[in-house]
A and B are shown apart, each in its own frame.
Chain A
């Protein structure tokens, strides 16, 4: 049994330690907000936080995640940056198909937790690992700016 700390809660799984965290979250713990997109850390749809740092859960083993605090889209609204990002996403009507947006939001929330007022270049660097095939990028930029203003 592996014990995980997910969104502040203790959870247990009997998955093999080499199983990607993504599939433990989705198939074992039934937390399906974190998405599968590529399996190779190329698209960012599976982004979660490990000790506050953005990480691609498709390429992080559950064994490696066991000793860290895992935050997912289901829990990010409990942080002030996460809440501000989610509200900005809604106010700016960012999502289209929506499948990538959990990952986008996790990357954006991690950025704002570190940098209060990110520059365009900092936004570009922080979001470079997250793909959106619907092309919501300009709204993502606008929403991150709005969220940065609104973090209380």
Chain B
């Protein structure tokens, strides 16, 4: 276990070793709905066998797991192989990982229908049975091969840690020694999965398969791809969304040493050079005149003013329970609050980039590939190809947080457009600088919320009205038909429309104004704003009713045992009832609690905050409880809870993309600040024991930290935070 090392198989070596097998074994057109049950045929080549599209066992004893999801940090290259290793009874040291090719017939996300892609914290959840069945099928075949070779009954054979054993005759074989025999066997149609009590990997720590490559600089990201003759392209984008190129003067750019070409593309003007720095200097020397007649020219303040105007009018109903109007009329008292949220950039460490090579019969792309079906379709459209002619190589992504699953395939199409504009004479690597990335749009939308609640004479919440104003993420995308119902974009109201608290009269309404700013999902999507407004407003109601905010939540969650269990665990671990002592005089300290469900995972957090006399605050400690079903990789879960807290806290403290006359004001990490090491709170993660199917962990920690911190600031100072980023 300690010596585990991931071998960075090149795509070419892998294809040599096994592509014929994997292709040969899955019936054409059969969607991989759970693995071996859908598979047919037999493996044909000697020396290696692939019982299904997900597992390849070589005569060298390596077990290669084909992972259909993007590894962007969340740990899927560890989580999915854990499932295979568990049912295969492999030794963790023999596991290798290979990213799946684009082929939705085998590698579709089972939660996305026939689409291949990673997102919505679904990777492990949708793969849980599929990958286990894949491992179990391979194990059954190894047992059959050994039984035949040793002429014994299969029931007398055991498999453990990569060794197949016949105990009575003391015979043993490795997977590699059996691979050639196994290749002749049929793939079993039915397999039995282990009982949870027999798990040896699930629920225990499995070292990350990518840790060594990522600690030695050998992991290959898109930024690192180098193809023979490849050119690097930088693009001059319009200064405002919706502007177009009027004219450009390429002379200055072409005079720069190393610059090879300058071409207009629909997205702007591309400068191609032998290397990045030449392309950068070339772009700096480029003169572009922009046509801004169609450009978006509003500033953030004007957008917010428009949202506030809309919020004074009824929106489309997203949820209606009881009689909200009557309940307010009979309420003893009414409380109201309004909340403002800015645009947010994803700001992945690896700015967007993409490598494209055109060929006579299609094109090949290297990318931190998150949304294969969308990208294939969009690139095919841009290049006049069929989607299956777009070959995608999924590389490690230097973060995504939603960004690389762009419903319009924006930067991938941009790279393809450059390759097309240059006639495909050389492979092209599109590189966005940090400034390009920061200003390219596809932000978490701005939102404005109003909340109003009615309390009866005893302080019980009898009425709740929530109105949300902000751009629809899904309007105009392939998902609109599926996820926008009666004008309500599910991603705008998630976390608000499914508020779990027992409130008898409850209304949630939505306005989705159109703005010319490209928007997109951002780690935890709707919950990034709905968790904040609902969890801080509930805290206000607790204070107004002189109730303990933790106990009020417990009471209102009586019918939601998962929420309640997570809440209780976080509160217990945080010693909720013990008073907090300031460490320095003049400091004020406070503890805040929040609980929220997103992507079927419930997270509760207690944040402890110190507010200094000058209004600066730091988050000292966060106790985080999570219910994500079976904890397949507890350490990956811990890492994702920590990660979500850091990401959410960054946005809470600093995150704001602002527009002035339509132009984005931020450009780099000095004015779009990230959290740094000294600001990271201590984090304790506590996992609720569960036997339910696993649910996602990549996103659900993110939305909980900002309301927990805001509630802690109230506890410390008596001041409510109603606008993000936090200013005290």
Contacts and interface: CB of A to CB of B under 8 A. Distances in A.
The judgment on whether A and B are partners is yes
Interface of B: 72-75, 207-208, 210-221, 223-224, 226, 232, 257, 274-277, 347-351, 396-401, 431, 433-434, 635, 639, 642-647, 650, 668-670, 674-678, 680, 682-683
Interface residues of A, number: 55
Contacts of A98: 73, 210, 213-215, 219, 396, 398
A138 B682 contact: yes
Contact of B668 (A38, A90, A135): A38
Interface in A13-63: 15-16, 19-20, 23, 26-28, 30, 32-40, 42-43, 45
A141 interface: yes
Contacts of A37: 349-351, 434
A70 interface: no
Contact of A45 (B232, B275, B349): B349
A16 to B, nearest CB: 7
Contact of B398 (A34, A99, A124): A99
B679 to A, nearest CB: 8
B575 to A, nearest CB: 20
B682 A43 contact: no
A117 interface: no
Contacts of A105: 215
B349 A97 contact: yes
Nearest to B636: A93
10 contacts: A27-B232, A27-B276, A35-B398, A37-B350, A93-B639, A95-B215, A97-B73, A98-B219, A137-B675, A140-B677
A96 interface: yes
Nearest to A30: B226
Nearest to A120: B678
B662 to A, nearest CB: 24
Contacts of A69: none
B643 A134 contact: yes
Contact of A42 (B207, B257, B645, B668): B668
A139 B207 CA distance: 14
Nearest to B683: A138
Contacts of B218: 33
Interface string A96-109: 11111110010000
A93 B635 contact: yes
10 shortest interchain CB distances as A-B pairs: A33-B217, A135-B646, A99-B398, A98-B214, A97-B73, A96-B73, A73-B217, A27-B275, A95-B214, A137-B680
Contact of B349 (A127, A128, A132, A139): A132
B217 A131 contact: no
B396 A96 contact: no
A38 B666 CA distance: 13
A6 interface: no
B670 A40 contact: yes
Given A89-B211, A90-B215, 10 more contacts: A15-B277, A33-B216, A36-B276, A90-B211, A97-B399, A98-B215, A100-B398, A101-B214, A124-B677, A135-B646
A97 B350 contact: yes
A27 B234 CA distance: 15
A124 B678 CA distance: 5
Contacts of B635: 93
Contacts of B396: 97-98
A93 B669 contact: no
Contacts of A136: 639, 642-643
A93 B677 contact: no
B677 A127 contact: yes
Contacts of A140: 677
A99 B353 CA distance: 13
Nearest to A96: B73
B571 to A, nearest CB: 22
Given A32-B223, A133-B347, A134-B643, A95 B211 contact: yes
